[in-house]
Amino acid sequence: MTAAPRVLVIDDSELNIEIATYLLTRAGMQVASALDGSNVLALVAAFAPNIVLMDIQLPGLTAWR
């Protein structure tokens, strides 16, 4: 038996996180989430996600840089 894929969802919209979490957990994935970029690096280290779904622009962190 293989472990469920781990997905990190980062978005500043709680509704977007709730929808993504609902869909991903229904698909059998483990999900962690963050509302901003301030604690993302620590969360990545602790959760060790297989993939990250990230809003392009967040408070405290942006994917543009």
> Tens-of-pLDDT digits for all 65 residues of the chain?
789 999 999 999 999 999 999 999 999 999 999 988 777 888 999 999 999 998 887 776 666 65
42, exposed or middle or buried, with CB in 10 Å at 0-12, 13-18, 19+? exposed
Residue 53 lies in a domain: yes
Domain that holds residue 57: 8-62
Residue 1 lies in a domain: no
For residue 36, the SS3 value is coil
Side chain identity at residue 37, one-letter code: G
Tally Cβ neighbours within 10 Å of residue 46: 10
Residue 2 lies in a domain: no
Pairing label, strands 6-10, 30-34: parallel
- pTM for the model: 0.86
How many domains are there within the chain? 1
